[in-house]
Structure formats: structure tokens, C-alpha cells
Structure 1
Amino acid sequence: MRVYEWGPADGDKVLFVHGDATPCLVFSKIAQGLVDAGYRVISLGTRIQRYAAPLPARRSSLATQILLAVGSSPLSWMGNGNLFSIVAFSLGGPISLAFAGTFPLSVRSLVLLGPAGLIRTLPDGYEDHIIHNPELAPSDEALREKVRQILGVAVSGPALKMQADQRQEVPPPAGPARVEKTFDMGAVLQWQFDHHQGHVHSFQSTARYGSLQKGEHIWKKVCDIISARTRPDAPLHGSKLLVFFGQDDDVVVGKETSEEISHLLPPDHLQVEYLPGGHGFPYPNSESITRTILSFWGSRSSLL
């Protein structure tokens, strides 16, 4: 896993948790926007995207990475009254909900972007027998091809212009540079498919074991806190959940998922926003999302 942390040391803390296919770069502009507004942020690159062994990507093991991430900080993120907010995308949604349900005294606010966990119909390929029984795949290449089809990437992308033995340690700069670059997220997905060792097996494991569906129990535990049914000692008690959806998202369908959330959360405790695009909507809508988050947290602070 990778942990990127920057922003003023005395700022309110925010953790970003990505999904099963798109890496933490999806949050780069949102995170920088929050840093510019005075927040301290961690953007977590989980083992889903990195050099993971083909182990079951169970929700508990992924949620544990949040503990490891905040524990790596030179600052205190948990305990002694320390709180942080979470902004999560796709599979990062149920991972973050599982964490918040386990450590309700540590989470100040939740913002979910196209969250999984309540999906009614899985995307094409996710229920293929090779994904759920990789030992039956005729070869590693057959499994790789199935994952490639699900991700929608090419058979092979451009060659990586760096040799492994050319890598070297470089001292970190005095402070991180502003995130100004615009990324081609399709090219990023292609690059990690081509070059991240273990990515294919890790994605397959996540698709097999991840909490993409039937996660009502995960959602309900936190929704009960937000709607003030339980845990009056928790910062989320009586608060509000902010959820974004892509208008044309065919992976996490906004209308369906918002209906499922409404069964768990009263309307006064839920704010739903729709933005242009499919499941990859967060990155191209970064500025709008950042403004809405800042407004949401500002209005929430005025109620405390």
C-alpha cells in the first residue's frame, strides 16, 4: 500500500479511499482543493491497485489498511479526541462504512462517491465463473483476459519507459507541490494493468470477495448512527451523509442505490448529488465535488 499525506498540520483531517479499479489519483484534485482550504489529507493507495498477492480481498482486511494508513502519519489521527472525515469512491464506500461502524468515535463525516455495497445488478463479467473460481481458469492468461475485459483496457499499452534498476531513492521535498496535472484516467488504468505485479489477481479477488452487493448490514450500522438511532457518543450521531452519483453510471446506478439508502436513512439525514458522467465521474467533476464538500462541511459545522 501507499500513503500520501500533505496539508497544514493543524488542519481538520480527511482520508481518501479509492475503489477496486481506479487508483487514488482519482482524488488528486479534490484532495488538493481541500488542502488549499486548510485541511490535512491522506490519500490511500490500497493493495487492490499495488503489488498484492492473490489473497481474499475481504472487507476486514481492506478496512484494516485505514488503520495502517493513519498510523503511519507523524500526526495523531485517532484517539484522545482526534477525528477525521472520509471521502470514499466505489468499493471504498463499504470499506469506509465498515471502518466507521467499527471505530465510530473516530469518524467525523462521511462523503461517498458512487458507493458500492447496495448494487442490485453487478456489471458485466463480475459474476463470470473464472472470477469466482480462478482455479478453474485454463491459464493465467485466460484470467488476465477476463479481468482485461471487465476493466475495458487494451491487451497491452505503451512500454514503460523506466527500467527497474534505474530506480533510486530521492529525498522528499520540503513540502509537496500543488497538484496541477490533469491525468488521463484511461491511460492510468491501462498502465496499472500492464505494469502492477499482482494487479490482475488482486482485482479478481476483490471482485469475488468485495462487498459490492448485499451490504445492507454494513450500511445499516452507520446509518443508524447518522440518523441518531444509536451511539449518541459518536461524532456521526444525528449528522448527515453526502452521496454523489454519476448521471450515466451503469455500475453503481444512482436511482437504485439512492432508493436502497433511503430505506436505511431518513431524508433529513441524506444529501444526494448527481453529476455528469458514468462511474468515472469523480475526476472530471473534481471542482464541483470539492465545492459541494466544503459547503456541506461548512453547513454541518454551523449545526454543531
Structure 2
Amino acid sequence: MTLIVARQVDGDVYIVGDTKFSDAANSEKEQYIGGLKIVLLTPGLCVGFAGDVLAAREAIQGIYDQDINLFDKNLVLEYFLEHHRKSHPGSADETTFIVAVICEIDEQPGKHVTEIFRVANSKVSWEDQTSHIGESDAFNLFQKVSHTGITKSEVPVFEFSKTGSKPRPNFDASLTNTLRAMQAVIDDPATLRVDGYRTVVISEDGQFKYIEYIQIKGQVIPLGAQPGAPISFGGAPEGSDIKHVGMLTAVGIGILPVYSITGRFGLIYRPEISFEPMRCKNCSPDEFRLQIELQLSIAHERALAYQSRY
């Protein structure tokens, strides 16, 4: 399953989720790596999914090769409603979608409106300000942390993120709270089917993009007794986990790279091309960047070829 939360604040939207694919046929490590469940399909279209991964794969993987105009909001909603109905509506394997779109306002060049739709229960619902799909227990925990700020994590977490190119006080405050709550759900051992890497999409200046962040989990280790001495978090033996999410992401391109600084490996999620993430083992950050640049080039060429048809 999963948990995807979408919210609109002052006309802009953010969507946050996890990456775990629950599949008993795969090892826990494979499930943890999972796949990208919040997918940028065009600069003005973002889709998140929960439920049966196979049904979501049929809808998203290779969508540029299909005869569907992703620049037409109504056609997009009909397309994902059809794939939702082809899954198992009303059952535990039901595939649900959140569709976020950015449309230019008629006769107002440069002005945009952002909307959120929920595709579930065999219908499309326009959502006013907030929506979610996925595990109900996970969402209850998410809400609890959002309102109280209390988490169960015993390991300190430090994070540096780029949430946009300009300050948006209400938006930034809401997003920061949601990021903390979603991370708490991912870290909580009781929510076994929500795990992996936290994925974050925001709208800015009429376009969607993944945000970039560096996350450090681990106990602070002072490297000296004097005030202001350097600190370290150690490595894997000390229980630290340092990762760089969203390295070199591009506006409107559905590729999310994740690099484990502690483990020296990288993952490149690219669901429009393949639901199976590309893996780079025992690679340096520079080696991983080269792989990202190559995959971005491939995805960009596919997007341009698709756009030329419409």
C-alpha cells in the first residue's frame, strides 16, 4: 500500500509520499527500495498512486508511447479513472490515484490555477485544499503527528532541503509540518506498509518539480571537547544514515535520484521508462551524477518527442 498526501496552500500544491512496494514475493530490501509513487508526467501534471502496483504500472509505464493527450485535463482524468476501474474497486487491491494539474487561466497569460483530483470509488472527485490515498492507519498517525508534533523516533534527524526559489510563509510552514509527519510515519515500525524514501513534489511558478534534500539520521559525535568543535555522525557501524534525495532533479521531468552517502550506492527512479529503479552500486557522488545526467537526457528526449505530437 502507501500513503500519499496532497495539499493546496495559497494557490500552490505539494504532494508527499513514500516509495515502498508491498509484495510478499520480494525481499524486505526489495520492498523498501520499491518505486516512485508520485510521478511528474508533464510540467503541469503530477500523478500519485496507491494500491495494486501492477495496475499503476499499466497506467504510467510507457505512457508517452500511448495515444493519450496529457495536456488535456479531462482526458487525463478519464484515463486514470479507466485504469482505476480496471483494478479492483472496493477491494484491498484497489488502485487509487491523486491527480494534480496546473492549467493556464483563459485570457490571462501567465496566470495559473492548480487543482487536485482524487480517483477512487469508481469516480473522480475534485478535492478542496487537501486529499490523501493509501493506508488509513498510516494517515491517522500522520494526522496525529501533524497536530501534536510528537514523534516516536529515538534517532535524531537533521535535514537540509530546498523547498522553493522564493519564500512562501504559509506554504512553507504547512510543507515543513507535513514533511515531519510523513517522515514519522515512514520511521514508525507499526506502519509496515509505508516505508522507503520520502518523495516530495511542489508546484512553483506554474510548474511541478521534486524538491531536493539531504537527510542525516544518527547520533551526534563531538570531535573535540572545546565549544564549537566539529561534529560527526559516524558511518554505518555507528548507525548513521545519510542520503541525498533529488540530486539534479529537473522541472517537469519524472526522475528522482536518491544517493546513499553512507552506503555509497544510488537509485534512479524513472517510472515512465520503467517501474524498476536503476541501481548504481559502490559509486561515488560524481559517478552517480554522470548516471543521473544520462537518464535525464533520455527522459527529456522522450518528453520532447511526446510533446511534439500535441
Higher strand share: 2
Same fold (TM over 0.5): no
Q: Which structure carries more helix by proportion?
A: 1
Task: Flag the structure with more relative contact order, 1 or 2, with Cα contacts below 8 A and sequence separation at least 6.
Answer: 1
Question: TM-score by structure 1 length?
Answer: 0.29
